[in-house]
């Protein structure tokens, strides 16, 4: 059975995200190991078939050991294995690839529409996502598109209704969402995570 590492970035905060992520992995017939990404150790590179980085309440620019370790580990994981990052995990992954991350003037907490970019229509994790698909956002930070000169293999797959990055791919193995695809909404947002797991675990 393929093995998936879930990096929990909630610290001591209670959450429903980790059980929801675990359910998605189980549905894709994966074996789960959960790591405390704030207070514990991180999974080793190449030990797992895929890596999931959760959201969380902390800041992606925190001058704390957890953020430094995670930002250094993320590119190492993506060199050899598929990685999917959500919320805070996505913000840290974007920063690790040189994309700007900044605080929002007003936090967003609720259901908002998201719109795929032209590149998003052709990405394997995005094929079910329609224009104005409702997604659940709970965040105080935004990921900004990189300058054209530094994009290389990284690409914006969708934009939020606030105009910042909603989904991005940082090369063939790394993809992430600023919204929470593990949360159930009226649209097809959960299929982004489901399609990632299907491809990563060989269930396509």
The total of structural domains in the chain comes to 1
pLDDT at 199 over 70: yes
Question: How confident is the model over 61-82, as pLDDT tens digits?
Answer: 999 999 999 999 999 999 999 9
Residue 152 is predicted with a pLDDT of 60
Cα 77 to the chain's mean position, in Å? 14
Across the range 41-54, mean pLDDT stands at: 96
CATH assignment at residue 51: 3.40.50.880
pLDDT at 148 over 80: no
Question: How confident is the model over 6-40, as pLDDT tens digits?
Answer: 999 999 888 999 999 999 999 999 999 999 999 99
pTM, 2 dp: 0.95
Across the range 170-191, mean pLDDT stands at: 91
pLDDT at 158 over 60: yes
| Tokens 């991180």 found at | 42
Residue 201 CB coordination number (10 Å)? 20
Query: Do the Cβ atoms of 6 and 35 come closer than 8 Å?
Result: yes
**Domain extent for 86:** 3-200
């Amino acid at each position: 059975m393929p093995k998936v590492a879930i990096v929990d970035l909630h610290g001591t905060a209670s959450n429903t995200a980790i059980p929801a992520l675990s359910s998605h992995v189980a549905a894709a017939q994966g074996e789960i190991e959960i790591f405390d990404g704030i207070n514990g150790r991180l999974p080793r590179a190449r030990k797992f078939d895929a890596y999931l980085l959760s959201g969380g309440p902390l800041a992606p620019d925190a001058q704390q050991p957890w953020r430094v370790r995670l930002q250094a580990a993320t590119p190492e994981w993506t060199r050899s294995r598929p990685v999917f990052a959500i919320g805070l995990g996505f913000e840290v992954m974007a920063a690790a690839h040189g994309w700007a991350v900044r605080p929002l003037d007003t936090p967003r907490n609720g259901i908002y529409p998201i719109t795929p970019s032209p590149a998003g229509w052709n990405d394997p994790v995005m094929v079910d996502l329609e224009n104005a698909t409702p997604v659940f956002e709970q965040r105080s930070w935004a990921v900004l598109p990189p300058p054209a000169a530094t994009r290389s293999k990284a690409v914006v797959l969708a934009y939020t209704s606030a105009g910042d990055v909603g989904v991005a791919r940082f090369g063939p193995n790394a993809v992430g969402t600023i919204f929470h695809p593990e949360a159930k909404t009226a649209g097809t947002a959960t299929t982004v995570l489901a399609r990632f797991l299907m491809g990563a675990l060989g269930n396509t």
